A = this chain, B = another copy of it.
Amino acid sequence: MTATTARDNDTRTRLLETALTLFTRHGVEGTSLQMIADALGVTKAAVYYHFKTKDEITEAVAEPALRQLGALVQEARGLRRRGAQVDHVLAGLVELVVGHRALAAVFSSDPGVARALERTLKGEDDVKDCMTDLLCGPDADDESKVAAHVALAGIALAGGSPDLADLPDDELRRHLLAAGRRLLGRPRPRA
């Protein structure tokens, strides 16, 4: 890697971190390329060098988590037992949420993110739908569907909640998992 590419990558990383911070504070729709440039202390042209639109930035911010969720769905589909599928999706979601608390808050709650991702991911399977289906199983009744929605939204939002920001990762992980398992009728995990 040349010095220039290393610096470019570094700027790109800082840009995405800054964008996420601003998204958390102002929402995606309330954040402009100019605000990102100002917060980074660079010109708007420098932002344009990396990303042409805010949608591209939103996609890049969410991309690692989306890729991880996609992999999780694939892995779960490869499991034979229903219970194992539910456990795998739940544990993977909790892991992701705890590992990326700020992203979880924005990604799960901001209508701007959802819209930007819809535009860019058109044609691909909606990963949220896939996760709901895995949590409910085929031919799920409405009660299970509602419980799966409450679990997905509740875990993602509670995980990103500022009220729980003081909780250490391992505790947050354990309690979110317990909540999800109770909601979906899975036995408590062994200590």
- Contacts A29-B26, A111-B24, A179-B146; is A157 near B158 (CB within 8 Å)? no
Copies in the complex: 2
- Chain B residues within an 8 Å CB radius of A112: 26-27, 29-30
Distance in Å: Cβ of A150 to nearest Cβ of chain B: 4
- Chain B residues within an 8 Å CB radius of A180: 150
- Contacts A29-B27, A153-B158; is A147 near B179 (CB within 8 Å)? yes
Report if A28 contacts B (CB, 8 A): yes
Report if A172 contacts B (CB, 8 A): yes
Which one of B24, B106, B154, B183 contacts A153 once the chains associate, using CB atoms below 8 Å?
B154
Q: How many residues in A have their beta carbons less than 8 Å from beta carbons of B?
A: 44
Query: Cβ of A146 and Cβ of B176 under 8 Å apart?
Result: yes
Binary flags per residue of A64-86, CB closer than 8 Å to B gives 1, else 0? 00000000000000000000000
CA–CA, A99 and B134, complex, Å: 29
Residues of A near any B CB (own CB < 8 A): 24-30, 106, 108-112, 129, 132, 142-143, 145-147, 149-155, 157-158, 161, 163-164, 167, 171-172, 174-176, 178-180, 182-183, 185
